[in-house]
Amino acid sequence: MNKRLIGVAGGLIVAIGAILYFALPSTPEGAPSEINPEVVVEPVVEAAPEIRFGIDVTDFEVKEGKIKRNQTFADILSPYNVSRQDIFAVDRQSKSVFSVRNFVPGKKYTLIYENDSIQKAAYFVYEPNALEYVIYQLKGEIDIRLEEREVEIRELTMADVIDVSLDHSIRREGGSAALVNAMADLYGWQIDPRSLQKGDWFKVVYEQKFVDGEPIGIGDIITAEFSHLKNSYMAYAYDDGNGLNYYDENGKGLQKAFLRYPVEFSRISSRYNPKRYLKMYGKVKPHLGTDFAAPRGTPIKAAGDGVIVARAFTKPNGNYVKIKHNSTYTTGYLHMSKFGKFRNGQRVRKGDIIGYVGNTGYSTGNHLCFRFWKRGKQVDFLKERKNLPSQKPLGEEHHVKFDALMSLSNKVLDDVPMPWAEQTVSASADKP
């Protein structure tokens, strides 16, 4: 190849290199020299929907409040463009689930509504208690349903010494009134809570219910020990196939077929007296029940297992419930402020709440008038208690299983600290 051609070729190469250098975009020093780098696109993350009471409220407005005194369902919903016809329909349909006429002042509600051109209610949620809530669906077809929150049950322990009362000791340790009542019912036929002495002590293992981390009540007592006047009273929960009952270390039932008292009361205000003379009437007017004075709203418990045979209102009795326990015994509960959740014809177990203390009917103050029938005749419950049937002892076929449960329960009770006992021992050891 002659020199001229070589020179021309070299010039062309230099020219092409210059063109490429100025035509292409510059690359930062040290960066990769790719001509077409791959573009990375970040994925779009959608926001999680907001769920309330199982409802997706993302596209709704939410208003929370509490029922005011004398406030009705219509009062709350009318400003949110719910027609009178729909309000009547909800009122009618709610009776079989949870009537909107049973709202209680102070209870929480949540209103879920659309806020487009107008504010229109889609759902109304009422919370009668910490566990349950009622959803009234107003959007589309009207629907009403009662739901329950998920409940977490934890096993807790407690121990304390009596220096004032059982109520004082349990509350001092962070326990609730429900636990006080459960312990009083458990030992009601062995230990009179009003006869406790300083130095008596107890240990208890029990279930505590939680919803969203907040305590809402207790479950069952699992096992307990009560030292009264230096006598030990043991209690073990055991299910023999007929429900949970409580037994001592020998498998003997702790309780009778009926509660010692059907209500927590401050005093017995009037006893059974078939010859009672009333000055206001100027004649003998028998009192065939036992009156327990207690604050309005105090829970009334079914005295024993049975079936509700009456749940009604009469002028003399006010709101009352009557329970048939068997062919021998029937009980009555008069002057209630309101009924519990159990209906006429339903079976109840001993201790179930059937109503609340009130002053309805012919009554001069808040109290429970408790009636007790034996073979169809009203008798004095306080005298009859001595003859009430006891809970049956465990059968032999349960002894092996019960002994194993008792051994495990004793180990748990032994591990429950007794600070007052340790302080007593320490104080004795310090003495010269």
pLDDT digits (tens, 9 = 90+) for 180-198: 989 988 998 888 877 899 9
Q: What is the pLDDT of residues 192-251, one digit of tens each?
A: 877 899 999 999 999 999 998 999 999 999 999 999 998 999 999 999 988 889 999 999
Confirm if 296 and 367 have CB atoms less than 8 A apart: no
Task: Using the predicted structure, report yes or no on whether residue 392 has a pLDDT greater than 70.
Answer: yes
> Rounded to whole angstroms, how far apart are CA atoms 132 and 128?
6
Distance CA 235, CA 231 (A): 13
Pick from 336, 343, 338: nearest CA to 311: 343
Strongest mean pLDDT among 174-178, 233-237, 269-273, 359-363? 233-237
> Coil, strand or helix: which one is 208?
strand
Quote the pTM value: 0.69
Alpha-carbon separation of residue 106 from 70, 90, 240, 418 (angstroms): 11, 21, 42, 40
Residue 429 has pLDDT above 50, yes or no: no
Domains in the chain: ranges and CATH: 53-148 (3.10.450.350), 152-247 (3.10.450.350), 267-387 (2.70.70.10)
Are the C-beta atoms of 254 and 186 separated by less than 8 Å? yes
pLDDT (0 to 100) of residue 37? 56
Which tens digits make up the pLDDT trace of 87-143?
Answer: 999 999 999 999 999 899 999 999 999 988 899 999 999 999 889 999 999 999 999
For residues 422 and 404, give the distance between their C-alpha atoms in angstroms, rounded to a whole number: 29
Query: So what's the pLDDT on residue 267?
Result: 79
| Mean pLDDT value across the chain | 86
Lowest mean pLDDT: which of 272-281, 285-294, 344-353?
272-281
Residue 20 has pLDDT above 90, yes or no: no
Percent of the chain with pLDDT over 90: 64
For residue 65, pLDDT over 90 is answered with yes
Contact 273, 286 (CB under 8 A): yes
Q: Which amino acid is at 155?
A: E
Q: Is the pLDDT of residue 339 over 90?
A: yes
Predicted pLDDT of residue 168: 93
Choose the weakest-confidence range: 6-15, 56-65, 361-370, 372-381.
6-15
